[in-house]
Amino acid sequence: MQTRRIKFTLSFALVLLLATAKAQTYTRISNGVSINTKGITTEITFFNNGIVHVKKYPVGNVAETKSFSVIGKPGKPTVAIIEGKDGLQIKSKNIAVIMSMPSGQIKFGNNEGHLYLQENSTSFSPVKDGNENTFRIKQSFKLERDEAIYGFGQFQNGHMSQRNQQLLLKQENMRIAIPFFQSIKNYGVFWDNASATVFSDSNNVASLQSEIGNCIDYYFIKGANADSVIEQYQLLTGEVPMFPKWVFGYWQSRERYTSQHELLDVVNRYRALKVPLDGIVQDWQYWGEDQADWNAVRFGNPRFPDPKKMIDSVHNMNAHIIISVWPSFGYKTKIYKELEAKNMLFNFQTWPPKDVKVYDAFNPEARDIYWSHMKNDIFSLGMDGWWLDATEPEKAGPDLVIDAQSTYAGSFQKVGNAFPIATTGGVSDHQKQLTKDKRVFILTRSAFAGQQRYATMLWSGDIQGKWDVLRAQIAAGCNLSLSGIPYWNTDVGGFFTGNNYPLGVKDPAYKELYVRWFQFATFCPMLRSHGTNTPREIYQLGNRGEWAFDAVEKYINLRYQLLPYIYSCAWQVTSQHLTMTRALAMDFASDKNVWDVNNQYMFGKSLLVCPVTDSLYTSRAGGVAETNFSNVKTTSVYLPSGADWFDFWTGEKMKGGQQVSKQVPIDIIPVFVKSGTILPVAASKQFALEHADSTLEIRVYEGANGEFILYEDEGDNYNYEKGVYATISFKWNNAKYQLEISDRKGKFPGMLQTRNFNIKLVGKDEGKVVKYNGKKVVVPFN
């Protein structure tokens, strides 16, 4: 151990003033150093070769922190420490950290001298957290002028790049606060703080300021590309489990099904129409309509006389059901009384406001109680998953009252942003401990860093049914994915429609919006129709043969045809840390034209999706909405450079790096396939697990080498964690113009031993049929 002594002075004003030191000192600690400079203790340690952990606090203070996000265990990278005239260098295999002297500023670069990011300033402002002395903390960084950054969770402002704006990172309906961003330069910064935080970027200086913090605590993460940044981040905060295969089918929902009969009638009608369906959702008030019985976590409404029979009936129709559960309870409920007796309820207003209280999800015993009621009164009936609503949690009343609320983990002001990971994590852990036969599935509207490990599917909240809101969803979903949360969806058609479309589905203008929103949602991780003000089951749109019905049915069937691709992408999320909803900058970072594109994205690594986000066929002549499809309209699409592109619908091949105009009749959303893609396409089915895909069409998009790994398993248990699954690799060699189908790897119960692959070379007349028995096959083309 090597130590030098330091003399320093430390004075506080409104902001801690950093005094000039006559000398510096550092102490070698595990995987790094601790150094005092200008009255600040800075700990710089390497979590691994690609992640640097930085902690700062005033000298003499204790940097006690609790991370709700970080669960990874540090490795043992080789770390070199070099003293130089310009400061101290701490280096791993991949990253060089330089602390400048005497300023104490930190720079992150590589061992060849290339700079990624540098600090600008640090401040600690003394504040009170109840009776505790603590700080408002702030760290700023210098960014390059044209450097694009992404992440911070979900915002509804339509911005793709988060440069030159101010964002409040505080959980709220329609806003998801994740204190993590990543740069087009392939690094990320995770700010490990659960209090309300403001990100601000102006004049190329970006800062993060949190209301409460005993210390500044952040991680610098370096990767080779956006996916590897997310991989490192998930190694730090938790990896993503597989959802059941049925999650990726079509889901029908409404606010709300008012009876057992009504819910079952919806599933029956889909089956009678032979329109595919995998899931139905029961929203609130199944417990009863007395507000004092709010969220009793049990069936109490007489209109649901036999909930087990209802669930069994859904299953007998080969569908699945999830149910709404909130983190708040009315005063007459059994769970309220049990939590109240143990002082485990908060005292701030929530929604609905009268005599309803939120539980302290930070308390492990409270999480046990919460789950015990869910397990005994709902899960035991055969429920398939959870809709954990209002996990911000929903708050009403003054922030001062809410922030001062004491929780098991500290004041709400200090830890409030972590409420969603605490409550969803409790449910996820408890269910997985109970059974490994049914994968956890949680639909929820809020998240914190690391929540991806708890099998949660986020949705974008109670958004308005409007065209500009539809467009804003694209950037919102992409930025959430870039925040390390890969699963996300929206209420198709927007949750609220009454102000904009009071006639709902009877209004042709709303039908046009709904159809376009549905097309977008087909290429999202979950396809789920939900909302209030108007019903939106497919038969509400008209009859087969009418434009709205036919367009929606077409995309439901397309969703099922793409299930082999989607489920294999889900395996890539779990096994390779990839993400489905991908900003164009993730895959085409060298093309600066895509850095701030907010109306296109990649779905998986192969499909370029360009949603139609304008009304093209409806007008309100004389105040009455009328449709006119006589003239086919067009929309503009940018094809990123670095690849050739094929029109998904026609097979037409085009060069990348250009803007193209595409016709968009009401039943077409522009979708392009990247050259080198191998795309498996199945026959449609009535539900995801109806049958194995004994015949698959394998579409090959030539022009570049490519590979696709088809993933298959039992569909709904955790045996895949033990290696019980199978993969088949397809490789296209563009120079040899041949497709190689590998030996099948692995096995699982019910696996097809033989099947047919219909190989189609897109844009060419040639196609071939391969009878595959698990052994390698090479398929040449002319």
Q: What is the per-residue pLDDT across 611-663, written as a single tens digit (0 to 9) for each?
A: 999 999 999 888 889 999 999 999 999 999 999 999 999 999 999 999 999 99
Say what the pTM is.
0.96
Q: What is the per-residue pLDDT across 243-263, written as a single tens digit (0 to 9) for each?
A: 999 999 999 999 999 999 999
Determine how many CB atoms are found less than 10 A away from the CB of residue 626: 12
Pairing mode, strands 644-647 and 653-655: antiparallel
User: Binning pLDDT at 50, 70 and 90, where does residue 11 land?
Assistant: very low
Strand partners, 410: 407
> What pLDDT score does 622 carry?
81
User: Binning pLDDT at 50, 70 and 90, where does residue 765 land?
Assistant: confident
Cβ atoms of 323 and 357 within 8 Å: the answer is no
- Max alpha carbon distance in the chain (Å)? 84
- The residue ranges of DSSP E strands in 542-657, in sequence order, are 581-582, 601-603, 607-609, 618-621, 624-627, 634-639, 644-647, 653-655
**Is 50 exceeded by the pLDDT of residue 10?**
no
Domains, the chain, ranges and CATH?
11-143+187-222 (2.60.40.1760), 692-780 (2.60.40.1180)
Place of tokens 């006589």: 630
Show the DSSP H helices in 501-654 as ranges.
508-522, 547-561, 563-576, 584-587
Cβ contacts of residue 583 below 8 Å, gap of 6+? 150, 160, 226, 475, 478, 479, 481, 482, 597, 601, 602
Cβ atoms of 504 and 468 within 8 Å: the answer is no
Active-site residues: which are they? Answer: 389, 392, 462
CA distance 6 to 3: 10
Mean pLDDT of the 49-58 span: 97
Q: What is the per-residue pLDDT across 461-505, written as a single tens digit (0 to 9) for each?
A: 999 999 999 999 999 999 999 999 999 999 999 999 999 999 999
User: Binning pLDDT at 50, 70 and 90, where does residue 202 land?
Assistant: very high
> What pLDDT score does 426 carry?
98
Length of the chain: 782
**Closest to 570 (Cα-Cα) out of 245, 250, 277:** 245
Mean pLDDT of the 764-777 span: 95
Q: What is the per-residue pLDDT across 427-467, written as a single tens digit (0 to 9) for each?
A: 999 999 999 999 999 999 999 999 999 999 999 999 999 99
**Is 70 exceeded by the pLDDT of residue 415?**
yes
Q: What is the per-residue pLDDT across 499-537, written as a single tens digit (0 to 9) for each?
A: 999 999 999 999 999 999 999 999 999 999 999 999 999
> What pLDDT score does 276 carry?
98
Q: Cα torsion at 740, 743, 749, 752 (round to 10°)?
A: 50
> What pLDDT score does 21 carry?
35
DSSP element (H, E) containing 425? helix 419-434
DSSP element (H, E) containing 506? none
Considering the chain, what is the average pLDDT of its residues?
95
User: Binning pLDDT at 50, 70 and 90, where does residue 24 land?
Assistant: low
Cβ atoms of 202 and 173 within 8 Å: the answer is no
**Is 50 exceeded by the pLDDT of residue 15?**
no
Q: What is the per-residue pLDDT across 336-372, written as a single tens digit (0 to 9) for each?
A: 999 999 999 999 999 888 899 999 999 999 999 999 9
CA distance 646 to 655: 9
Cβ atoms of 277 and 271 within 8 Å: the answer is yes
Q: What is the per-residue pLDDT across 57-86, written as a single tens digit (0 to 9) for each?
A: 999 988 878 899 999 999 999 999 999 877
Q: Over pLDDT 70: what percentage of the chain?
A: 97
Q: Over pLDDT 90: what percentage of the chain?
A: 92
CA distance to 58, 255, 386, 393, 555, per residue, from 379 (Å) = 49, 22, 9, 23, 32
User: Binning pLDDT at 50, 70 and 90, where does residue 1 land?
Assistant: very low
CA angle at residue 735 from 732 to 739, to 5 degrees? Answer: 25
CA distance 675 to 706: 8
